[in-house]
Structure 1
């Protein structure tokens, strides 16, 4: 007799009779990661809004539940971050919300930001493998594999996109105030980094000053490597 990891019902078949989840769901691994990537293109579930609510309220708990097998009622995390990245980039590009910020940058930063805004969805998704590598290496003693770190950072980046969407909607109201747009974008970047570090603390159960500092190092390293990579790639296009 097997206990379903999603709903807790007793299962003696290949699929849970209560929720339909496969009874063989084990630890999240590379096979699951490939399946979730394929699901982005071939499946659609209506669980995104409950997942948004749960992930915003308790990102660490939502990720742990997904990795531990509670997946039927949770939106595919790769599709989650991709969907939210598309909405976020649509608002930014459609309403030119970064134009004022672009004008405030020097030549080098402006080139990178132009490339970023022109390819925002793809570029944002590029950061997840990098961030996952750093979180995997710095918290290796927590025994989470690389694929599990990818899922954590999909939920985490998806949440940051939600905050970005809210910010974009607010900026639409004040879009004529260039100084405010520039200021809010600057603060948003810093607050996002702090938010990510705090989520790492809770997910990896390192709720100490040392845990926060290690988490902050992971986030800062990601931004540095990500920025260098963006600069390198943007030179080929601008």
Structure 2
């Protein structure tokens, strides 16, 4: 039998070159159930990933980058899923302004851009991660992690922060208690703690640098967004 994915000869149940199954099972109810269980099961699933990132984020992410990439959910999938959970939670309970409220200027494009960011804060954080990664690279350059490895770090950490924000949005939606501010603070604390632990948990200065890198990343992202918005609006008026 020839593998349909890489054209390698297959003599067992899986291709020895790419791992493609020799025979694909038909997609049915059992297949969908298996895929859902694969995502949610505790070992190598999203629940296991959440537990590891809450208890030992630095060590878990370092192991993912350097040693074993099979134990945790893939970082891009993780941040997309957690951002989706956050977005659905805040929209369902109508607490969109709890964490971020931007008073956009009257310019048309700029206003629409910031309105989109406010309504899609979870996905906006994915874009913001690029700028945060830049500042982390500046403050922690001696550790020699490249830019893309730092992005992987942020995908995991921001994903957990999204779950923290979603949890407090859920509590506020159910109890009507003004606790969103506490959720925001806890999210900042977790991000700073996790980044500092990733580089060297024994150095207190790393936690301060992590917090500063996160704040500067947010500021840089906001300034650039304003510049882009104003530029587009100026061009549209010509």
For normalisation by structure 2, the TM-score amounts to 0.68
- Pairing 1:73–2:74 present: no
Q: Within 5 Å, which residues of 2 pair with 1:1-238?
A: 45-46=38-39, 47-99=45-97, 114-175=115-176, 180=178, 184-205=179-200, 207-232=202-227
Q: Partner of 2:27 in structure 1? A: none
Q: Which moved more, 1:146-155 or 1:226-235?
A: 226-235
How far does residue 190 in structure 1 lie from its aligned partner after superposition? 3.2
Structure 2 unmatched runs, 5+: 1-16, 18-34, 40-44, 106-110, 234-238
Matched residues in 2 for 1:206 and 1:97: separation?
A: 35
The number of equivalent residue pairs is 188
Q: Partner of 2:31 in structure 1? A: none
Q: Partner of 2:32 in structure 1? A: none
Matched residues in 1 for 2:60 and 2:121: separation?
A: 26
Matched residues in 2 for 1:113 and 1:189: separation?
A: 19
Q: Deviations over 1:55-95 (max 9, x none)?
A: 11111111011012211221101110111001101111232
Matched residues in 1 for 2:165 and 2:207: separation?
A: 23
How far does residue 224 in structure 1 lie from its aligned partner after superposition? 1.0
Aligned-residue Cα RMSD (Å) equals: 3.0
Structure 1 unmatched runs, 5+: 1-21, 23-42
Q: Deviations over 1:80-128 (max 9, x none)?
A: 01110011011112321125778x87565xx576332323343121111
Classify the secondary structure of the residue corresponding to 1:207: coil
